[in-house]
C-alpha cells in the first residue's frame, strides 16, 4: 500500500466537515438506555451517582457523576448616566480558594419552587432587590462530563429595593459580601481577559452584552420551557 492509498482511505479531516445550517445548531436531548443506577456517595448538597448505560455500537460503559439540583443565576441590570451596568457580588468559594466576582445565584433546592420564583427569591436574599421585569438570557450546563447541573441565567430589570424590615439575614460565605455595580463593558473585558472566572458570571455578562447589542431581541420569556433541566424535561 502506498502513501497515496493510505491518504485516499483516511476519514475526512475537520477541514472537510460540512457547514451546519442555523436551524440544525441545537443540542439533541437523547438519554442512552440506563441498565443500572446506584448512588455511590450521599453528600451534604449533592450525591455521586454511577450509571451503567448502553452506547449502542460503542458498547456498555459506566460513568460516575454528581447528581445536582441545578441552579439559577441573575444578571441585575440598569442604565445610569448613559452607562449599562450589571450588579455583581464577591463571594468566597472554598474548593478553588478564591473570592470570586459573581452574579447573584442559588440552587434549585426548594421543593415545588420553579426556576423563575427561585431567581426572584435569590435576588432578594443576596442583594436586597426586587425586579419588575424578568427575561431568560441563557441556559447552560456547568460541566456536562462530570455533573448534570443545569443553569438558567435571568435578566432582571426595573429594580427596586426590598424594604429594610423584610431583608434576608445573610450568613456563612454570604455574610458581609461586597456588592458593586460594574459597567458592562468592564465586566466583559474582565471575563475575556481571565480576571473573573466564575462560569455563571462569564456566561452571564457575555450573554447580557450580546443581548443588549442586539436590542434585546434574543431575550426569552421568564417562563420559557427549560427541557435541559431534569425537573422540567417532561413539560
**Catalytic residue numbers, as ranges:** 171
Place of cell 459506566: 62
Q: What's the per-residue H, E or C state across 201-213?
A: HHHHHHHHHHHHH
From the CB of residue 81, how many other CB atoms can be counted at a distance below 10 Å?
5
Side-chain half-sphere CA neighbours of 202 within 13 A: 13
Instruction: Establish how many alpha carbons lie within 13 A of residue 135's alpha carbon, considering only the half-sphere containing its beta carbon.
Output: 16
Indicate the angle between helix axes 199-213 and 184-193, nearest 10 degrees. 130
Report in angstroms the alpha-carbon separations of 29 from 105, 220, 221.
Answer: 25, 20, 21
Contacts with 45 (C-beta within 8 Å, 6 or more apart), sequence order: 107, 109
Helix H or strand E segment including 192? helix 184-193
Sequence-distant (≥ 6) Cβ neighbours of residue 183 within 8 angstroms = 83, 84, 85
Amino acid at each position: 500500500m502506498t502513501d497515496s492509498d493510505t491518504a485516499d482511505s483516511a476519514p475526512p479531516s475537520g477541514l472537510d466537515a460540512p457547514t451546519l445550517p442555523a436551524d440544525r445548531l441545537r443540542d439533541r436531548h437523547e438519554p442512552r438506555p440506563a441498565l443500572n443506577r446506584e448512588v455511590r456517595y450521599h453528600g451534604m448538597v449533592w450525591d455521586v451517582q454511577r450509571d451503567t448505560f448502553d452506547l449502542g455500537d460503542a458498547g456498555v460503559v459506566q460513568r460516575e457523576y454528581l447528581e445536582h439540583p441545578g441552579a439559577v443565576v441573575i444578571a441585575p441590570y440598569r442604565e445610569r448616566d448613559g452607562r449599562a451596568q450589571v450588579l455583581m457580588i464577591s463571594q468566597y468559594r472554598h474548593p478553588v480558594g478564591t473570592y470570586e466576582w459573581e452574579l447573584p445565584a442559588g440552587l434549585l433546592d426548594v421543593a415545588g419552587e420553579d426556576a423563575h420564583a427561585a431567581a426572584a427569591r435569590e435576588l432578594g436574599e443576596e442583594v436586597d432587590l426586587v425586579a419588575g421585569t424578568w427575561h431568560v438570557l441563557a441556559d447552560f450546563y456547568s460541566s456536562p462530563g462530570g455533573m448534570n447541573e443545569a443553569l438558567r441565567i435571568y435578566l432582571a430589570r426595573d429594580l427596586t429595593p426590598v424594604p429594610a424590615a423584610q431583608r434576608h439575614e445573610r450568613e456563612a460565605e454570604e455574610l458581609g459580601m461586597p456588592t458593586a455595580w460594574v459597567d458592562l463593558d468592564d465586566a466583559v473585558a474582565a471575563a475575556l481577559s481571565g480576571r473573573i472566572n466564575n462560569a455563571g458570571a462569564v456566561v452571564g455578562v457575555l450573554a447580557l452584552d450580546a443581548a443588549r447589542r442586539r436590542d434585546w431581541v434574543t431575550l426569552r420569556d421568564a417562563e420559557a420551557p427549560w427541557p435541559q433541566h431534569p425537573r422540567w424535561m417532561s413539560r
